[in-house]
């Protein structure tokens, strides 16, 4: 690893699952030689973030530009992560960084997703991979926008493109799992190489530590070590909980009614095998095999929580049945 460590890293979305892993891994990797400034919208989260490795806490909100300057002051690297619904605000923040901090920020590591391939593969946004007459799902187009805006701002960028997160997979099914011993999704028999958020954080931390000389203008796909069907996921969950949990397929039209057409279009990619591939990038970055779903469930992550504990906690419950979290995204324009 390089000895030219970043002096101070701004860690946005530090209280999120990837952000927490990033903070914990970065603290361990830099042995206190890099100052970790973790952001939070709620000051009450500061004590917890410091307990897992943050040196400083900055109040930061993508929706409140008056919080941006103090958060960035003195930082020479940025870990960039944001919710899908905040794509417009993220693009504005990227433009702000380029206009005001381009000479100061030496490296930005952005959390993105499979399918943000406009600059790295042959890619036509108007042609869906499996649905005739349909275009690339809007969410996947926005993942590329989230990278492109940083590149256009003149910042040295590394993108960590993750598969669908293990910790989001069953978050809406916890009542059924606990009370009835089953869960439902619309994924059918398709296998997906679901990714552990802890691995995403470790990959991002590795890129920040090793620096832009090695990782600028690089785009890494991070996945799990094997593609699994939902029946196999149910078997792993059964082992972890010590009780039988079964998978019951859900009607795709019902899923669209539950979560809206934008999220359903994204899940169509999970259903058609687009996310089946297992990438070697995590191993190439860290020298370790990616975390399996069973390991995620049973083992404690870098901040002390198992996947089972996370599954049944209130953290990360960002999608609710009956609420279309992306109903306004079609009106978003590039910054």
pLDDT in tens, 222-258: 999 999 999 999 999 999 999 999 999 999 999 999 9
Angle between helices 252-259 and 261-271 (to 10 degrees): 140
Percent of the chain with pLDDT over 90: 82
The SS3 of residue 28 is: helix
Say how many Å lie between the first and final Cα of the chain, rounded. 36
Structure tokens at 224: 């799990």
Angle between helices 87-101 and 138-152 (to 10 degrees): 10
Residue 1 pLDDT > 70 = no
Q: What is the mean pLDDT of residues 209-234?
A: 98
pLDDT tier at 131, thresholds 50, 70, 90: confident
Domain boundary assignment for the chain: 8-316
Q: Please say whether the beta carbons of 149 and 80 come within 8 A.
A: no
Residue 113 pLDDT > 90 = yes
Residue among 149, 42, 136 at smallest CA distance from 97:
149
**pLDDT single digits (tens) 308-333:** 999 998 776 777 888 888 888 888 98
pLDDT tier at 122, thresholds 50, 70, 90: confident
**What architecture is the 8-316 domain classified under in CATH?**
3-Layer(aba) Sandwich (3.40)
Q: What is the mean pLDDT of residues 67-71?
A: 98
- What's this model's pTM, rounded to 2 decimal places? 0.95
């Amino acid at each position: 690893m390089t000895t030219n460590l970043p002096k101070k890293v701004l860690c946005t979305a530090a209280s999120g699952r990837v952000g927490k892993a990033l903070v914990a891994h970065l603290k361990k990797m830099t042995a206190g030689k890099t100052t970790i400034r973790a952001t939070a919208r709620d000051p009450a989260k500061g004590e917890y973030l410091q307990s897992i490795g943050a040196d400083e806490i900055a109040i930061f909100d993508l929706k409140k530009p008056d919080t941006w300057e103090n958060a960035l002051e003195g930082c020479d690297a940025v870990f960039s992560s944001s919710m899908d619904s905040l794509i417009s605000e993220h693009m504005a923040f990227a433009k702000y960084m380029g206009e005001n901090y381009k000479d100061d920020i030496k490296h930005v590591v952005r959390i993105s997703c499979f399918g943000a391939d406009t600059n790295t593969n042959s890619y036509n946004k108007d042609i869906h991979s499996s649905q005739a007459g349909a275009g690339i799902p809007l969410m996947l187009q926005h993942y590329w926008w989230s990278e492109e805006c940083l590149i256009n701002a003149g910042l040295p960028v590394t993108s960590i493109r993750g598969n669908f997160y293990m910790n989001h997979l069953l978050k809406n099914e916890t009542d059924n799992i606990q009370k009835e011993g089953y869960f439902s999704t619309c994924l059918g028999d398709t296998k997906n190489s679901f990714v552990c958020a802890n691995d995403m954080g470790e990959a991002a931390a590795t890129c920040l530590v090793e620096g832009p000389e090695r990782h600028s203008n690089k785009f890494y796909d991070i996945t799990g070590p094997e593609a699994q069907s939902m029946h196999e996921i149910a078997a792993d969950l059964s082992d972890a909980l010590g009780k039988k949990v079964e998978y019951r397929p859900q009607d795709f039209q019902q899923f669209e009614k539950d979560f809206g057409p934008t999220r359903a279009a994204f899940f169509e990619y999970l259903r058609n095998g687009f996310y089946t591939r297992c990438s070697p990038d995590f191993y190439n970055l860290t020298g370790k095999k990616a975390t399996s779903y069973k390991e995620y469930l049973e083992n404690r992550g870098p901040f002390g929580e198992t996947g089972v504990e996370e599954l049944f906690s209130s953290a990360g419950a960002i999608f609710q049945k009956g609420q279309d979290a992306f109903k306004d995204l079609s009106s978003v324009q590039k910054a």
